Amino acid sequence: MTNIRIENKLGAVHAGKASRLYPLITAKTRRIDGNAAAAKTDMLWPVEWWGLERCELFARLGKNERHEALTACNRGILNEAYFIEKSGLAYCAKMMLLADSTDSAQLFAHIAADEATHLAWIEPYIAEQDKTSPQGQFLSFLSGLIEEHRPELLIYLVQVILEGWGLDHYKRLMKNCQDPALTRVLRRILKDEALHHHSGTLLHDASKFSARDRGTVADAMKFYAELVRVGPQAAIAALDQVAGGLSRRELIEVITAMDHPAESARKLDLLRKLMLQPGMEGIVGALEESGYLVPYSAADAVSFYLQWR
Structure confidence by residue, pLDDT tens digits, 176-193:
999 999 999 999 999 999
Q: What is the pLDDT of residue 282?
A: 97
Distance CA 239, CA 233 (A): 10
Quote the percentage of the chain above a pLDDT of 90. 88
| CB-based contacts of 245, cutoff 8 Å, min separation 6 | none
Specify the DSSP class assigned to residue 156.
I
Percentage, residues of the chain above pLDDT 70: 96
pLDDT in tens, 233-244: 999 999 999 999
Computed over every residue of the chain, the mean pLDDT equals 93
Average pLDDT over residues 204-222: 97
Q: What is the pLDDT of residue 303?
A: 97
The mean pLDDT of 113-131, rounded to a whole number, is 93
Q: 228 falls in which pLDDT band (50, 70, 90)?
A: very high
The least confident of 30-44, 208-222, 288-302 is: 30-44
pLDDT in tens, 9-58: 999 999 988 999 988 888 878 666 555 655 777 789 999 999 999 999 99
CA distances from 142 to 7, 160, 215, 249, 255 (A): 12, 14, 17, 33, 25
Torsion sign over Cα 101, 102, 106, 109 = positive
Distance CA 94, CA 151 (A): 8
pLDDT digits (tens, 9 = 90+) for 63-114: 999 999 999 999 999 999 999 999 999 999 999 999 999 999 999 999 999 9
Q: Is 8 left (phi over 0), alpha (psi -120 to 50) or beta?
A: beta
CA 40 from centre of chain: 21
Average pLDDT on 130-142 reads 94
CATH node for 44-308:
1.20.1260
Q: What is the pLDDT of residue 309?
A: 86
Residue 1: pLDDT over 50: no
Q: Are 126 and 166 in contact, with CB atoms under 8 Å apart?
A: no
Average pLDDT over residues 303-308: 93
Mean pLDDT confidence for 216-226: 98
